[in-house]
Amino acid sequence: MHHSVHAEQFLMANANAHGEPGIRCVAVSSVPCGHCRQFLQEIRGAAEIQILVTSDEDPAFRPLASLLPNPFGPPDLLHKDAPLLLEPHDNELGALEATGVAVGGGGSCNGIRGGGLERRLREAAEGAARSSHAPYSGCAAGFAVADGGGRVYPGSYVESAAYNPSLGPAQAAMVACLAAGGGREGGGWGIVAAALVEKETAAVSHEGTARIFLEAVAPGAHLKVYRFRPSAAV
């Protein structure tokens, strides 16, 4: 259950991955749960996002504020000029360690040697980490998965002010994979290799969660973890 991705989270992760500057309207089959009402608060002007519930007897747009009248969110914890979700982020990671840590699967990204797949996975995960929305913990992280065709799908960690509704980078990468029509080749969901980028000194590590996730959906996948050290420590 912890790894579940709600429809609204899928929408926001996909919008974030494609550089959308905001969300004005959302049409859903059922009223957003409390988890998603909270997650939507990470967008600037969230109160004015219009929600349409298609299963209503008389569907009509209504502002998110009507579903969450007393919100807790970024304004309670961040400076008013801090970048929010769907706004440009450039997180400082520091310098990459000399080597990554390989976990599970075979070498050479499970036999896919062409096209520098391991390098592309690392670069994609690093880019996702730099653009991740993690203003509360400061634990920027990115994940990338590759399918049997060598296609790479990155995902950024997205934090919620309430912490629990946060979307992990592994889940965000799977959103990118599914949204792009991936996951059709190979065993499991078609994922054969993955890379995680996070800070060495991070209070929150996503490695354990990534291992559990991959064991469930792609047990043969080759995972490599890259940790960045603060520049002053290198």
Domain ranges of the chain: 7-77, 95-233
7-77: CATH topology is Cytidine Deaminase; domain 2 (3.40.140)
Q: Using CA atoms, how far apart are residues 194 and 152, in angstroms rounded to an integer?
A: 9
Q: Specify the pLDDT at position 106.
A: 43
Pairing of strands 25-28, 50-53: parallel
95-233: CATH topology is Cytidine Deaminase; domain 2 (3.40.140)
Q: Using CA atoms, how far apart are residues 204 and 163, in angstroms rounded to an integer?
A: 11
Concerning whether 8 is annotated as a catalytic residue, the answer is: yes
Q: Specify the pLDDT at position 1.
A: 72
For residue 17, give Cα distances in angstroms to 85, 139, 147, 151: 11, 19, 18, 16
Q: Out of 8, 118, 126, 198, which one is annotated catalytic?
A: 8
Q: Using CA atoms, how far apart are residues 4 and 171, in angstroms rounded to an integer?
A: 8
What average pLDDT values come out for the chain (234 residues) when binned by 10 residues?
Answer: 89 97 97 96 98 96 97 96 97 78 52 75 98 97 95 97 96 96 68 96 94 92 93 59
Pairing of strands 191-199, 222-229: parallel
Q: Specify the pLDDT at position 186.
A: 52
DSSP state of 221: -
Structure token pair of residue 47: 């109160």
Query: CA torsion 55→174→83→61, rounded to 10°?
Result: -10
Q: Enumerate the known binding-site residues for Zn(2+).
A: 6, 33, 36
Fold agreement between 7-77 and 95-233: yes
Alpha-helical (H) ranges within 42-90 are 74-77
Q: Which of 85, 78, 91, 88 is nearest to 41 (CA)?
A: 85
DSSP state of 25: E
- What residues contact residue 49 under an 8 Å CB cut-off, 6+ apart? 23, 24, 25, 26, 40, 43, 63, 64
Q: Specify the pLDDT at position 86.
A: 98
Q: Using CA atoms, how far apart are residues 207 and 97, in angstroms rounded to an integer?
A: 16
Q: Using CA atoms, how far apart are residues 3 and 1, in angstroms rounded to an integer?
A: 5
- What residues contact residue 201 under an 8 Å CB cut-off, 6+ apart? 229, 230, 233
Q: Specify the pLDDT at position 233.
A: 52
Q: Specify the pLDDT at position 105.
A: 46
